Structure 1
Amino acid sequence: MDIFTAGRDFVRRDARVLERRLFATVFEGADPQGVVDALRGFQNADGGFGQGLEPDKRCPDSLPLDVEVAFDTLLAAEARDEEMVRRAADWLDRTANSDGAVPLCGPAVEGYPRAEHITEWTYQPGINPTAGLVGRLHKLGFEHPWRDRAGAWCAAQLADGFPEDAHGLHEALEFLEHTDDVDLDRIRDWLPKLQWFRADAADPTYGVTPLHLAQTPDSFWRPLFTDAQLDAHLDRLIEDQQDDGGWAITWEPPGPAAHLEYRGIVTVGALRTLKAYNRL
């Protein structure tokens, strides 16, 4: 069975409704409104997103991490719902500190099953996820007072230096893409210093790879990497497809359902990347 068919069958069999509808939109021409409709089940009355949209915590409360996943899903589906995004941005505005910064999660997660890495460090407002959320609102073409306030804070923070971990830099790049302050050489030199950056395609451990930063050939950050680097990671991505057609994850979610949900997310993501690079 070929890569795409095996991946499709995994999504159809084991992924949750949201990823099945996203797959149908991206690969089968389904109406992106179906993705918006599926996302509605994760949006709370306060406008934020929760309900375990990001599966590493089963907390129903609205959290910035879940808002980020919602924005990513809309972008992947090329779907737009102004009211949905406005309510989420309003929630971010109310949740942020005086500078506009937000944390990934909050103490509400402590009452629910969660992965081991969802601890107090995720309660601190920071570039991760603030910069990523600002960048995604730019990609969605959505103007909002919180976007401007938080963007000014992000610019000031990044003027003093880049984050020291790959997740933080990934979020920073989402923001910097929409500014005039881009120094590719400086960023390229910083990559080897990052914790959790997996430059070597042969490394099987958890990490952020060049394909996470340049998900498509026309990505703003594609010039950070050589063709050989990207080809090696694309080869590895193909090699990592499991016998059941899905892709594995390299961390431990809070339970079997969350594990399968995350595999659905990364499988659709892997297929999207391979499609973008003409590898399907």
Structure 2
Amino acid sequence: MEPTETDRHIPVALSSASVYPLSVHDAFAVASDLGFDGVEVMVTNNATSQKADELIHLAERYSQPIVSIHAPTLLLTQQVWGSAWNKISQSCRMALDVGCDTVVVHPPFRWQGNYAETFAHGVRDLADAFGVRIAVENMYPWRVRGRETLAYLPHWDPVGQGYRDVTWDFSHAATAREDSLEALKALGDAVRHVHLTDGSGRTFRDEHLVPGQGTQRVAECLQHLAGNGFEGAIVAEISTRKARGAGDRERLLAQTLAFARTHLGQTVAVD
């Protein structure tokens, strides 16, 4: 008998960014304790996040496969792995080393010259060369004194850009005041990867709220993906930096995991 859509298990993983300022090691430990299906490693200034052998050891120790590598394309990681193209190449190489096939990247900033101008073709060529999927993440417009500033090239919105693979982030969508459900429908099969979070849309800041605490139709989006052949991973990427008291960070992450399981139609673990 052929498997049905409901038989296909969409992995729900934990981004190492969700435990910041704790370490990558902590991300694997928390993911294991709470019952996630894997970990997305964001490459940062943290030495462990840059070493495939140490990441493999953590994955094996905690029985948490690495589902994706987030390339160091953030402003805060400008000094990691040199030039922009080298950051992506190194991330692709690491993905292969740790046994995953997805690399998450941000679109270029307009001031990054030739890298920005050749980005769309360049990521496709690198994806083909390494045999991985380079999923370009949706961002949001920068606003100065209420006016939009063109920070990204070709655009902060991947819809209509022709990318083969896209990462969709609900917090970024809220900041951009986009409708995620309509965007996911427009992107169709290009949606490879999802950062599970939320945002209020009332601020220009990137909030990374627990899903369900913002204005995005996150539940409907997960239901849409579960019923439309989505073959990627859902990765919890919420901010827990303001967690207070013992177990508060774990409570927020467990809530996020339960939200995903519920709206993907998966069994929710009960303590």
Highest RCO, 1 vs 2 (Cα 8 Å, sep ≥ 6) = 1
More helix by share: 1
Q: TM-score, normalised by structure 1?
A: 0.34
